[in-house]
Amino acid sequence: MSNSIIANQAEHFFGDVCNNFDHAAQFTNHDAGLLDQIKSCNSVYRFRFPIRRGNGFEVIDAWRIEHSHHQSPTKGGIRYSEMVNEDEVMALAALMTYKCAIVNVPFGGAKGGIKINPKNYTLQELENITRRYTVELIKKNFIGPSVDVPAPDYGSGEREMGWIADTYATMNPGQLDALGAVTGKPLALHGIAGRREATGRGVAIAVRECVSVAEDMAKLGLTTGITGKKIIVQGLGNVGYHSAKFLTEFGGIIVGLCEFEGAIYNEDGLDVEEVFQHRKATGSILGFSGAKKEFKNSMEGLEQPCDILVPAALENQITEANIKNIKAKIIAEGANGPTTPGAEAAFYSKGGIIIPDMYANAGGVTVSYFEWLKNLSHVAFGRMNRRFEENSNLNLVNTVESITGISLSPIQRSSIIKGASELELVNSGLEDTMIRSYHEIRETYKSNSKIDTQRTAAFVGAINKIAVSYQNLGVWP
């Protein structure tokens, strides 16, 4: 697909989101004005700022958009990409609103964008850009633990979030909850265990829940359960890598991996960690010894035989042009907006299932919510109760052994007695959130025969929840 076609599709991303909203809204019973309020972006901040480069200056384009204030603070990542534009950031902010509602996380949606290719800048220049961006947000009150809380997105990570946290704290001396102004921070800066892999883990749990429903798998001609399912993953970044990793741990077989430089395939399975290390060493997944096929055109990798396809890169990857060649029966959207509306309609007409992005990749914001709570409470999860739980469990084991006369082995005792760590509590909360939310969407989907897709069902649920919030808030003055 040419760059001009991709750019044209990207410019209509927000329109696609709004069209999906309008389609779902007909299955709700809300006032037209209320629906318009839910759909619209409340605050759009576009700005430019200079940085020093060499002996001169460069002007950087940037955005921060708050889509909905039905809950506070608003929440959303910051994307570092030379393809960033206002329409894309608006669309991603809107998706964040609906995503938070779907998984019952009490945030409004927001998103940020900085129009750069991070690979073209030195570490010092990236730090300068990130800190200046943060100062611009502070000046307009577009960041704060009770106002708007950024997070990582495409092109950014823990390092950038650390710079943002430090800048915000420096500009707000004495603010007790300053570190709650951003999530996705390094653990050393009061981040939370499990945040880095949270989105990928959430995608894997979403897929596992989908294939666990016997009724739905029978319609697809697939067996129940993830064990043995053949999976292709697009993207070997944070989301794609961890999606593939956890899907493998759950029993799936990764048969294909796609990146911008090309794609590899092996119907017997690929070792994700070996591919990752190969790419780290060579700069490309091509040339991996465990691959039986490789494609210089990455998009060909999406069209190889598999049961499940996980697009975990960028938007508009599955289109009307290639959907007829997609052999998967389930598409799990790890990325935001990877499937165009026309492609989705065609895929459902073939009897497939799409696990929508608003739900599938909500693991990141779910664990960001846990990190925000941790920052506000100023105590790590499990710190106050872990030893108490272990002592209680020990007393229980001792009592059972005394009554039965049976002694457990040291390994058995240890596994029963051990209290939950922060990581275990985070993963438990994430798993519970993803499981409950999937079946909530499915129930909505099954409750009305006119609801045509799981995406529509997810929108219906989100709209209803947001509408209740706005109705309870009222309008003032």
Whether the CB-CB separation of 16 and 91 falls below 8 Å is answered with yes
- Supply 413's token pair: 């005792």
Q: Determine the pLDDT at residue 10.
A: 52
Q: Determine the pLDDT at residue 24.
A: 97
- Cα 369 to chain centroid, rounded: 13
CA separation (Å) from 196 to 62, 153, 240, 366, 441? 25, 11, 12, 12, 26
Whether the CB-CB separation of 426 and 194 falls below 8 Å is answered with yes
Tell me how far apart the alpha carbons of residues 74 and 34 are, in angstroms, rounded to a whole number.
Answer: 19
Q: At 410, which amino acid appears?
A: P
Residue with tokens 């883990």: 201
Q: Determine the pLDDT at residue 252.
A: 98
**pTM for this predicted structure:** 0.93
Residues contacting residue 25 through CB under 8 Å, at least 6 positions apart: 35, 459, 463
For the chain, first and last CA: distance in Å? 50
What are the φ and ψ backbone dihedral angles of 306, each rounded to 5 degrees? Answer: -170, 170
Side-chain half-sphere CA neighbours of 271 within 13 A = 7
Catalytic residue selected from 75, 99, 111, 115: 111
What are the φ and ψ backbone dihedral angles of 436, each rounded to 5 degrees? Answer: -60, -45
- Pure H helices in 142-213: 158-171, 198-210
Tell me how far apart the alpha carbons of residues 416 and 438 are, in angstroms, rounded to a whole number.
Answer: 30
- Cα 228 to chain centroid, rounded: 25
Closest to 290 (Cα-Cα) out of 315, 259, 266: 266
| Gyration radius of the chain's alpha carbons | 23
Side-chain half-sphere CA neighbours of 280 within 13 A = 8
Q: Determine the pLDDT at residue 259.
A: 95
Type and span of the H or E element at 463:
helix 454-473
Examine residue 341 and say whether the peptide bond preceding it is cis (omega within 30 degrees of 0).
no
Active site residue 185: no
Whether the CB-CB separation of 178 and 167 falls below 8 Å is answered with no
Whether the CB-CB separation of 464 and 448 falls below 8 Å is answered with no
- Supply 207's token pair: 């897929």
Fill in the DSSP letter of residue 234.
E
**Inter-helix orientation angle 454-473/32-39, to 10°:** 110
Return averaged pLDDT per consecutive 10 residues of the chain, 477 residues in all. Answer: 44 88 96 96 98 93 98 97 96 96 98 97 97 98 98 94 98 97 97 96 98 97 97 95 97 96 96 96 95 95 97 91 96 94 94 96 97 97 92 93 93 91 96 98 95 96 97 90
Q: Determine the pLDDT at residue 4.
A: 41
